[in-house]
Structures are given as C-alpha cells and as structure tokens.
Amino acid sequence: MCTPALFRESPGSPDFPRRQFIYVGGALALMGALMLAAWPQVGRRLFASDFLPHAFCYLQNPGLVWTNVIADSLISLAYLAISGTLIYLIYKGRGDVPFRWMFLAFGLFIVACGGTHLMEVITVWDPLYVLSGTVKVFTAIVSLTTAVVLPFTVPRILVLVGKARASEIATDRLRLAMESAKSVGWDWDVKTGNDLRFGDLPTMYGIPSGSYCGSPQEFLYYVHPDDRERVWRLIEGALKDGRPYEAEFRVVRPDGKVRWVADRGKVYFLPNGEPKQMLGMATDITELKRTQEALQVSEERLRLAAQAGKMFAYTWHADTDLIERSGECAKILGVDVKVCATGQKVVDAAHPEDREVLRARLAELTPEKPNLQVTYRMIRPDGSVVWVERNSRAFFDEHGKITKTIGMVSDVTERKAAEEALASMSRRLIEAQEAERARIARDLHDDIGQRLAVSAIGLERLKQFAVSFGADAHKCIAEIQKQLHEISSNVHTLSHELHSSTLELLGLVAAMRDSCRELAVQQKAEIRFRHEDVPLRVPRDISLCLFRILQEALHNAVKHSGVREFEVELRGTAGAIHLLIRDRGVGFDPRTALVTPGLGLTSMRERLKLVHGELVIESQFKKGTTIHACVPCSSHGTMANFAAGAALQN
C-alpha cells in the first residue's frame, strides 16, 4: 500500500535537523543579501582602514574596531532571527497561541535592539548619528512599553501555568483510565505528521512505554495487512468530508500476537478547509471479539440443536403483545417468521379443546412461580394439528406485573403419537388382561367351583353310606370335606378378585366396600372404608382402574407395612375422584419402590395414565404410607346426582 501524501517528517525524524540547518543558513544569506542591496557602500567601506568617525573612540586600533563590528553584526543577525522565529510561531499558531500581543511586543523589542546594534556597525564608517539616535529612541520606547506592560500579564501567565499543571494531572488521570480500560488515545497533527499516542500501548501494540510519538505510517503498519487498506480508506474519507472515523480492525504486535481494536476519531479543520488535527481513541476489544465468536458458535450449536430437536425460541413482550420467534417456527407452525405474531394470535391458534387450559396456565404465572411447562395442540394455517410443548420463564417488574416471557417451543407431535400408540397398546393389553381375568373367573366359578361342590356332595353321601366304617375313616372324610370347603371358598374369593360382578352390577362404592370386607376377614385385619360425594355413574374404565389400584395397594400394605389397621377413602369433587389408602406401618422409599419388582406401583401409574390420572405416594420410615390416586371425572349432573348415588350406595 502506498504511503499517504499527508504523512510528513516529524521533529523526531532524522531529516528534521538537516532541514532546520538549511532553513537557518538560507535565512542568514537572505538577510546578508538584503543588507548589501540596501547599502552599496558597505562593500567599499567594509575593508577601509580609516574607520571614521569612531577611530578615535576605538583608540585607532583595527583589532578593537573589528571586534565590536563583528560582535554587533552577530547580535543584530541573532535578534533578527529570533524575531523571525516569533513571527513564524504566531503565524503558525494563529488563534491557538495565547498572549499574541506579548510575542509581538517581544519581537518588536528584539528587532529594535537589533537595529541599534546594526547602527553601531554603520556609524563606524558613516556618521549617521541622527538615524542612530532615532533608532535608539524607538528602541527605548518599545523597551519601556514592554517593561511597563509585561508585569500586568504575570497573573494571567500564572493562571495559564496552573491550567497547564491541571491539564497535566487530567492527562495522567486519563492515561490511567485508558490503561485500566485497555484504551489508547491519539493526537495526529496532520500538517507536521506528528502522531502522539498514549495509554495502554503495551497491551495493544506491544510498545513498552505508556506514550510514544512517531509518524502515522509507523502505527499504520501495526494494522493487520488484510485490514490496512480498508482502515486507510476510512481515514481518507474522514479527512476529506469530516465525517466521523470509525473502524474495527486487527493489529499485529511485534511478538506476533493479534489484537482486535475499535478505533474512533474526529478531524478538526482550518478556516480554509484544510485538515489540521485528528483526535481519536482506540479500545482493545479482543476479549469482546472472542466472546462474540464463542457466542456465535453457541448460537450455531443452539440452532442445530433446535433444528434437530424440532424446536424454536421465542420472546413475548407484554407492553406490545408482540412475539419474536426464531426461524425454526416456520417448519413447526407453518407460518412465515416475518409475519407479525402476538400473544393473542397464539392463544387463538390453539386447539379449541386446549385453549382454556392454556389461558389458565398462563394466568398462574407469578413472581414466585415464573416457570411454565404446558403441552397443547395448535392448528396450523393449512388446518393440520401439531402438538407443542412450551417451556418458558416470565419476568416481572417491581410491582409484580409481567414484562416479558422467554422460552422454547418444541414439536412433540411424534412423541404424542408414540404415547398414544403406547397408551392404545397398554389399553388393549389391560382390556385383554381383564377379559382373561373374567374368563378365568368364570371357569373357576362355573367349572372348578361346581366340581368342588359335586365332590363335597359325594363325600357327604359316602359318609352316610359308610356306617360300618371306623372312627378313623369318618375323621378322614371330615378332613377331606373341610379341605374341599376351604378350596371352594378360596376359588370363590379368587374368582371375585379376578372379576368383580359387584363392580358391574352395584358400582364402585359397593365393590370397594365388599373388597375391603373380604380382605379384612381373610387377613384378620381392620380396614376402615368411607366414601363421600362419589358420582352415581362412574365411567367403567375409571371405576375399574380405581378398583384395581385399591386391590394392589391394600395387598401391598398388608404384606409389607407390618400393621393390621388401614384406612380407605373414596371422595368425589367437582372435577375428579380421589382414592386414598393409608397405613401407619414401616414406610418405604417411593423412588426405590418404583424400580423394585413386586410392589406393583408401576402398574398403578400405567393404569392411571390411561385415564389421565395421577399417582402421589407419600411415605416416611416408621411413619406410614399414603397412596393418593386422582382421576379427572365429570359428574354429568348436579349435586343431586351425588346425593342419589350416596343414598343408593349406602
């Protein structure tokens, strides 16, 4: 890349002293030429030996004369050079140089003093005493004026010095702040090419010191080669039309490490429109860039995970009711992500059977319970139905009013289909199991039971005809009759447990009461059964589910609790039926019981899933166990239905 034409030598460059020497020599030569042109007799008089009219004053000594001439000439030239420097300083500084009049006064004073020394040289050969006196009078006036006015500027100068010190302190504070913030300030004098940088140079550029003065091209070559041309185009644009300079680029340190920099600057112009100065601030954003890169990787991973998991992210703003959704929602919901979405539209798009449930769950969000997980159906624009699972978190203001909600929505249609298929299979298995139980119960009752009854009758007839039998034979027949009676009773009980005709004929309450009574007699236990507000007509699948759970829970309690007193409660509410089985036994760990074969808790849960019920187990060591089964059920009637059912069941 070409070096910009605006870059010039700075005072610290090697060529600057040589150019300065050339400027001074040229100025002296110019002043000598002007003197020769203004006074033609100088050349002729310069080498004369009469030295009129000061020969007497100088004791007719040529060495003394030339000593004074040379000294006065050099002093005069020096005064003129100093005056020229001051004038050049004022010209270059223009409005930036304070106390310009003081510099002009000093310049005039020095010029006048130089004039008096020049007249001392001239009057060595020509008696121009009137002119010499006039120059001295002018010098006196200028000197006196400067001497009188100068003391009045001392307070202002001291104030300026104090401001300079304060500015130095402020600069130090700024430098410390920039070092702590990994920033570098820069001040580029466009005319001279002097570029001052200060701040955290070690971190950003690998420069050991905290400040450095060089040329812009030195710092430009710190910029990464791939970014250098773009950065310079932005700088040129700022210098051309004054627009703010902003750039993010990489810098390569001497040790080879690459840092990211955010650079901003502003150009200041002269009245004629030429760029004068450019100030700016560079901030190290390497860590920010690394964080952004990591964030981009995380976002890409999240996008891929969302795509693979068929889900999308969303944010709902309460003040506008607007929803922001990620692109995956187009495939799941069949909508254009660019189309404006609102919370009300989402609720309206929910399946009519799930809409009120969704509204109720959303209304339950509070600062104490900000999390929501709900599964419901949505109707796509083409009329198809998709199952979605919504997991979200709500945010609230200091008044407890919701401000926004963020979350993920996943497509669970396939999972729901699998669950429905599994539930259908489980339902068919349970139905087949119940049918098989009914068949076995009928076989036990109608076949084996009848055969046992016939055998008992045959033994009774044998006992009547065997009068000649001895006592031992009669005793043996009696024992066989007893065993047949017990077997017949057990077969009857087993038949009843496999298939309860009472449940079909008299309902859930009567079947549970009989089951508790029979089990209490068999196990010599006390089972207290009570019921309240149970509907008269309970759907068959629900009544069968609760009846089987009662059987399983009571058998487990009798076998494992270590006690012989139990409580069974069947209670109906406005929208559900509750079954509770309690004991005061040894208790157990419900989590372990779910994975331990033989307790039947898994079977209870599976049965309840088929009727959308829930199973809650509360158990503590040596404090007993409570099994709570809850099944949603509509009474399909008023409270009179409950009362009629309770009266009939009692």
pLDDT digits (tens, 9 = 90+) for 537-556: 888 889 888 988 888 889 88
The span from the CA of 79 to the CA of 144, in Å, is: 18
One domain for residues 398 and 428: no
Decide if 46 is inside a domain. yes
Decide if 565 is inside a domain. yes
Q: Write the DSSP symbol of residue 61.
A: -
- What are the strands, taking DSSP E only, across 452-563? 526-532
Of 376, 411, 446, the position where a domain reaches its end is: 411
**The two three-digit tokens of residue 167, written as one number:** 């500015």
**What is the pTM for the complete model shown?**
0.41
One domain for residues 527 and 642: yes
Of 111, 136, 156, the position where a domain reaches its end is: 156
Least confident piece of the model among 203-207, 280-284, 490-494: 490-494
One domain for residues 585 and 488: no
The pLDDT of residue 227 = 93
| Pairwise pLDDT comparison (550 vs 120), residue with the higher score | 550
Q: What residue type is assigned to position 163 of the chain?
A: K
Q: Residue 226: is its pLDDT beyond 90? A: yes
Of 361, 390, 411, the position where a domain reaches its end is: 411
Decide if 606 is inside a domain. yes
Backbone phi, then psi, for 330, in 5-degree steps?
Answer: -65, -40
Decide if 434 is inside a domain. yes
Decide if 285 is inside a domain. no
One domain for residues 343 and 377: yes
* Residues pairing with 195 in the sheet: 188, 214
Decide if 14 is inside a domain. no
The span from the CA of 119 to the CA of 333, in Å, is: 103
Number of domains observed in the structure of the chain: 4
Per-residue confidence band for 76, with pLDDT thresholds at 50, 70 and 90: confident
Burial pattern 67-104, b for ≥16 Cβ within 10 A else e, equals: ebbeebbebbbebbbbbbebeeeeeeeeeeeeeeebbe
One domain for residues 398 and 424: no
The pLDDT of residue 245 = 92
Q: Residue 203: is its pLDDT beyond 70? A: yes
The pLDDT of residue 526 = 93
One domain for residues 420 and 514: no
One domain for residues 643 and 603: yes
Give residue 586's domain range.
Answer: 501-649
